[in-house]
């Protein structure tokens, strides 16, 4: 054997009782599991005494925004230190493949708030396959990719708010099929982001029928997490049902005051669909605030045409007044149909250094410092930062978070935006926060249940039979943690602090974290859907 992990408490990902065992690894896979007292113990070139540690499958981040971070910082300590061994990127309908020379610059501008400008990336790829090839050059953890529907719509339709023609739908279907053939695991949408939000349900169903043919899944950021949230969830269930497609609901939260205490209604909707034969899963992060870009909160008509058109509208006083009214009075679709409360909008990152003094303050507080109304501050930020400002939205409800994470189809996803001076702590803390706060301290889930939510359930959604379980023959993607001390180090005040209690993490049987420190191992690669036929 290459490595033996001795005396570990194996939490195998099934949700069943843990047990004591030696686990032997060879050539990147689990070669033997010898339970305590069962017979001769395996030997190896390298032995690690795991007494006092739980041994679990590596955690799978079902909703990551590391699309550029994996390339510009391949060591990727933010995720490796959490025990994450696989993450799914290409989320929310917007990412960097497939693109052409016309759409790439606009994509880079539109999601600079998520990923930065990408000045350290060469952007030589254009297709999904070429992007995955770049990941295969060596990254810290494995990565799977979703074809982003908004990016596909840019290629086929542009940035116009109109229904796609039959010819344009056919082209989008071909682009989705090409991405799936090249290894993508499904399709994502961002239905509060332009231009993906301009798609009709019929258009979405047409694309989902392609996904279903390839046994992938549809992962929508649906049309509202606020005033229309429950209707938006029902809409996505109907779209997936019409297409015969598996559905994974992204960051499945219920936010804003209008949804306080309404988790039971969402779970009843899910249970009814599941009872009717639907294939549904979801992910959440274990925090109440959300995170996005300030520009995403604009009404959709203000973003039509792309970033340059949005900036021009903001610069025009008359149009800016209309935008303000939509946000503050009507409740714009970008604000999930709820009038914006600037006290709840915290500025977490800016692209232009001269705006750094806004970071860590609410828009309302920053406006008070300047003796102006919040809209004036928000408008100036959007224009001067070229739409690159990121925000935290303090609009969540703890009772909803806990109720949803108990559900049988729940998985974990960080929705982690790594860019910005003050990112959401979920980017660095989601998985240890689940284990430390919600498993050990609150008992919302047992240890075995919590690990299953973070490992085997997402692996099943991704159709990865050799991951997500501590089982002979499976990939040796593993996390060793102390159940008594594991905790997120990241906080809203220190969002990049690393977790505690996760001393060892292995990818492909190699230590990417050892004694709590990042090694120089880059064992991660793209995880591709097996081509049809």
Q: Tell me the per-residue pLDDT of 145-200, one tens digit each, with 9 for 90 and over.
A: 999 999 999 999 999 999 999 999 999 999 999 999 999 999 999 999 999 999 99
DSSP state of 89: E
Q: Which tokens hold the place of 292?
A: 């996005």
Give strand pairing partners of 292: 391
Four-point Cα dihedral 295, 301, 304, 306, nearest 10: -10
DSSP state of 58: P
Alpha-carbon distance of 141 to 523, in angstroms, equals: 7
**For position 507, what pLDDT does the model report?**
98
Q: Please write down the HEC assignment for all residues of 3-43.
A: EEEEEEEECCCCCCCCEEEEEEEECCEEEEEEECCCCCCCC
Q: Which tokens hold the place of 205?
A: 């169903």
**CB burial class (10 A; 0-12, 13-18, 19+) of residue 137?**
exposed
CA distances to 190, 281, 301 from 259, rounded to whole Å, are: 21, 21, 25
Q: What per-residue string of b and e applies to 362-382 under the rule 16 or more CB within 10 Å gives b?
A: bbbbbbeeeeeebbebbbbbb
Q: Which CATH architecture has domain 59-288+396-463?
A: Alpha-Beta Barrel (3.20)
- Ranges of residues in the chain with a pLDDT under 70 are 531-533
**For position 531, what pLDDT does the model report?**
60
Residue ranges, comma separated, of all CATH 3.20.20.140 domains in the chain are 59-288+396-463
- H runs (alpha helix) in 455-499: 456-461
Nearest to 187 by CA among 217, 221, 222, 212: 217
Alpha-carbon distance of 281 to 252, in angstroms, equals: 10
Helix (H, G, I), strand (E, B) or coil at 265: helix
**For position 379, what pLDDT does the model report?**
97
Helix (H, G, I), strand (E, B) or coil at 125: coil
Nearest to 366 by CA among 387, 389, 395, 388: 389
Instruction: Using the structure block, give the residue that is written with the tokens 């860590």.
Output: 360
Strands (DSSP E) contained in 225-289 are 246-249, 280-284
**For position 533, what pLDDT does the model report?**
40
Q: What is the pLDDT of residues 50-105, one digit of tens each?
A: 999 999 999 999 999 999 999 999 999 999 999 999 999 999 999 999 999 999 99
**For position 114, what pLDDT does the model report?**
92
């Amino acid at each position: 054997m290459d490595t033996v992990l001795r005396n570990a408490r194996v939490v195998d990902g099934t949700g069943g009782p843990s047990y004591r065992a030696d686990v032997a690894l060879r050539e990147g896979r689990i070669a033997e599991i010898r339970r305590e007292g069962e017979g001769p113990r395996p030997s190896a070139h390298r032995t690690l005494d795991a007494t006092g540690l739980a041994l679990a499958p590596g955690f799978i981040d079902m909703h990551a925004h590391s699309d550029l971070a994996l390339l510009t910082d391949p060591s990727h300590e933010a995720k490796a230190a959490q025990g994450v061994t696989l993450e799914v990127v290409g989320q929310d309908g917007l990412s960097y493949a497939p693109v052409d020379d016309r759409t790439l610059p606009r994509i880079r501008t539109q999601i600079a708030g998520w990923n930065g400008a990408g000045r350290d990336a060469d952007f030589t790829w254009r297709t999904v396959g070429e992007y995955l090839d770049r990941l295969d050059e060596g990254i810290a953890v494995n990565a799977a990719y979703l074809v982003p529907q908004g990016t596909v719509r840019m290629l086929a339709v542009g940035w116009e708010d109109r229904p796609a023609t039959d010819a344009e739908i056919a082209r989008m279907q071909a682009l989705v099929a090409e991405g799936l053939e090249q290894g993508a695991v499904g399709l994502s949408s961002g239905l509060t982001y332009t231009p993906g939000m301009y798609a009709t349900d019929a258009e979405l169903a047409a694309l989902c029928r392609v996904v279903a043919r390839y046994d992938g899944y549809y992962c929508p950021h649906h049309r509202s997490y606020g005033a229309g949230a429950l209707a938006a969830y029902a809409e996505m269930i109907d779209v997936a049902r019409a297409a015969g497609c598996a559905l994974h609901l992204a960051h499945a939260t219920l936010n804003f005051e209008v949804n306080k205490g309404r988790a039971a209604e969402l779970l009843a909707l899910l249970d009814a669909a599941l009872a009717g034969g639907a294939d549904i899963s979801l992910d959440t992060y274990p925090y109440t605030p959300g995170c996005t870009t300030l520009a995403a909160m604009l009404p959709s008509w203000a973003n039509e045409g792309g970033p340059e058109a949005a900036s021009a509208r903001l610069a025009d006083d008359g149009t800016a007044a209309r935008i303000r009214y939509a946000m503050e009075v009507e409740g714009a679709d970008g604000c999930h149909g709820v009038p914006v409360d600037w006290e709840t909008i915290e500025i977490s990152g800016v692209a232009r250094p001269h705006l750094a003094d806004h970071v860590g303050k609410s828009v309302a507080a920053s406006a008070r410092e300047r003796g102006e109304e919040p809209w004036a501050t928000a408008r100036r930020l959007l224009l001067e930062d070229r739409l690159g400002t990121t925000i935290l939205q303090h609009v969540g409800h703890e009772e909803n978070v806990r109720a949803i994470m108990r559900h049988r189809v729940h998985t974990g996803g960080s929705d982690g935006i790594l860019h910005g001076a003050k990112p959401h702590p979920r980017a660095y803390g989601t998985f240890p926060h689940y284990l430390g706060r919600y498993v050990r301290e609150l008992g919302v889930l047992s240890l075995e249940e919590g690990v299953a939510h973070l490992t085997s359930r997402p692996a099943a959604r991704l159709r990865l039979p050799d991951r997500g379980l501590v089982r002979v023959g499976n990939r040796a993607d593993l996390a060793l943690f102390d159940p008594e001390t594991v905790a997120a180090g990241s906080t809203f005040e220190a969002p990049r602090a690393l977790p505690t209690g996760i001393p060892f993490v292995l990818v492909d049987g190699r230590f990417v974290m050892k004694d709590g420190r990042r090694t120089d191992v880059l064992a991660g690669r793209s995880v591709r859907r097996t081509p049809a036929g």
